[in-house]
Amino acid sequence: MTTEVIVAILAGVGWVFSLSGVLGIVRMPDVYSRVQYSTKTITMGALPALVALVVGEGPVTQYGGRALVIAALLGVVNPAASHALLRAAYKSGVPQWEGAVRDDARARARKSASR
Protein backbone atom coordinates (compact mmCIF):
# COMPACT_ATOMS: atom_id res chain seq x y z
CA MET A 1 0.00 0.00 0.00
CA THR A 2 2.68 2.55 0.93
CA THR A 3 4.80 1.56 -2.06
CA GLU A 4 1.90 2.32 -4.36
CA VAL A 5 1.41 5.72 -2.76
CA ILE A 6 5.11 6.56 -3.12
CA VAL A 7 5.06 5.43 -6.76
CA ALA A 8 1.97 7.56 -7.43
CA ILE A 9 3.53 10.62 -5.79
CA LEU A 10 6.78 10.24 -7.73
CA ALA A 11 4.92 9.73 -10.98
CA GLY A 12 2.81 12.80 -10.22
CA VAL A 13 5.89 14.91 -9.53
CA GLY A 14 7.37 13.78 -12.84
CA TRP A 15 4.13 14.61 -14.61
CA VAL A 16 3.96 18.11 -13.09
CA PHE A 17 7.55 18.89 -14.08
CA SER A 18 6.93 17.54 -17.58
CA LEU A 19 3.81 19.64 -17.98
CA SER A 20 5.51 22.80 -16.72
CA GLY A 21 8.44 22.17 -19.03
CA VAL A 22 6.19 21.75 -22.05
CA LEU A 23 4.38 24.97 -21.23
CA GLY A 24 7.73 26.72 -20.87
CA ILE A 25 8.93 25.43 -24.24
CA VAL A 26 5.79 26.75 -25.91
CA ARG A 27 5.83 30.15 -24.18
CA MET A 28 9.51 31.11 -24.12
CA PRO A 29 10.71 33.68 -26.67
CA ASP A 30 14.16 32.41 -27.68
CA VAL A 31 16.17 29.25 -28.16
CA TYR A 32 18.17 29.76 -24.97
CA SER A 33 15.09 29.78 -22.76
CA ARG A 34 13.50 26.90 -24.63
CA VAL A 35 16.53 24.67 -24.22
CA GLN A 36 16.57 25.46 -20.50
CA TYR A 37 12.96 24.35 -20.19
CA SER A 38 13.48 21.26 -22.33
CA THR A 39 16.41 20.26 -20.11
CA LYS A 40 14.25 20.69 -17.03
CA THR A 41 11.50 18.66 -18.62
CA ILE A 42 13.75 15.74 -19.41
CA THR A 43 15.72 15.80 -16.17
CA MET A 44 13.08 16.62 -13.59
CA GLY A 45 10.25 14.93 -15.47
CA ALA A 46 11.93 11.65 -16.26
CA LEU A 47 13.96 11.14 -13.10
CA PRO A 48 10.98 10.93 -10.70
CA ALA A 49 9.25 8.57 -13.13
CA LEU A 50 12.33 6.36 -13.27
CA VAL A 51 12.64 6.40 -9.48
CA ALA A 52 8.95 5.47 -9.28
CA LEU A 53 9.70 2.47 -11.49
CA VAL A 54 12.61 1.47 -9.25
CA VAL A 55 10.45 1.80 -6.12
CA GLY A 56 7.60 -0.12 -7.71
CA GLU A 57 9.65 -2.93 -9.24
CA GLY A 58 12.65 -3.03 -6.92
CA PRO A 59 16.25 -2.07 -7.74
CA VAL A 60 17.47 -5.62 -8.33
CA THR A 61 14.88 -6.54 -10.96
CA GLN A 62 15.51 -6.28 -14.67
CA TYR A 63 13.44 -3.10 -15.03
CA GLY A 64 14.67 -1.46 -11.83
CA GLY A 65 18.32 -1.91 -12.73
CA ARG A 66 17.83 -0.49 -16.19
CA ALA A 67 15.88 2.44 -14.78
CA LEU A 68 18.76 3.23 -12.40
CA VAL A 69 21.28 3.16 -15.25
CA ILE A 70 19.10 5.42 -17.39
CA ALA A 71 18.56 7.81 -14.47
CA ALA A 72 22.30 8.05 -13.88
CA LEU A 73 22.97 8.68 -17.56
CA LEU A 74 20.23 11.32 -17.73
CA GLY A 75 21.69 13.08 -14.72
CA VAL A 76 25.10 13.35 -16.38
CA VAL A 77 24.49 13.53 -20.11
CA ASN A 78 21.45 15.81 -20.28
CA PRO A 79 22.99 18.91 -18.65
CA ALA A 80 26.19 18.47 -20.63
CA ALA A 81 24.30 18.09 -23.91
CA SER A 82 22.16 21.15 -23.27
CA HIS A 83 25.25 23.18 -22.42
CA ALA A 84 26.91 22.10 -25.66
CA LEU A 85 23.77 22.90 -27.64
CA LEU A 86 23.47 26.38 -26.13
CA ARG A 87 27.16 27.08 -26.59
CA ALA A 88 26.92 26.12 -30.26
CA ALA A 89 23.85 28.33 -30.69
CA TYR A 90 25.63 31.25 -29.05
CA LYS A 91 28.83 30.83 -31.06
CA SER A 92 26.86 30.57 -34.32
CA GLY A 93 25.16 33.88 -33.59
CA VAL A 94 21.63 32.89 -32.68
CA PRO A 95 20.17 36.10 -31.25
CA GLN A 96 18.85 36.43 -27.73
CA TRP A 97 15.41 37.75 -27.01
CA GLU A 98 15.22 41.54 -27.23
CA GLY A 99 14.06 41.71 -23.60
CA ALA A 100 17.12 39.89 -22.26
CA VAL A 101 18.67 41.91 -19.46
CA ARG A 102 22.34 41.25 -20.19
CA ASP A 103 24.80 39.04 -22.02
CA ASP A 104 27.45 37.90 -19.53
CA ALA A 105 29.34 35.82 -22.11
CA ARG A 106 29.82 38.82 -24.40
CA ALA A 107 31.02 40.94 -21.47
CA ARG A 108 33.58 38.27 -20.52
CA ALA A 109 34.76 38.03 -24.14
CA ARG A 110 35.26 41.81 -24.26
CA LYS A 111 37.32 41.73 -21.04
CA SER A 112 39.50 38.92 -22.40
CA ALA A 113 40.03 40.72 -25.69
CA SER A 114 41.07 43.96 -24.01
CA ARG A 115 43.86 42.29 -22.00
Q: Would you list the DSSP string of 16-61?
A: HHHHHHHHHHHH-SSHHHHHHHHHHHHHHHHHHHHHHHHHHH-TTS
CA distance 13 to 19: 10
CA–CA gap between residue 42 and residue 89 (Å, rounded): 20
Instruction: Please give the Cα distance from 16 to 10 (Å, whole number).
Output: 10
Residue 51 neighbours by CB distance under 10 Å: 20
> So where are the chain's domains?
2-114
Tens of pLDDT, residue by residue over 17-46, are 989 888 888 888 888 888 888 888 888 889
Q: Report the predicted TM-score, pTM, of the whole model to 2 decimal places.
A: 0.72
Distance of CA 94 to the CA centre of its chain: 21
Contacts of 113 (CB under 8 A, 6+ apart): none
Asked if the model's pLDDT at residue 5 lies above 90, the reply is yes
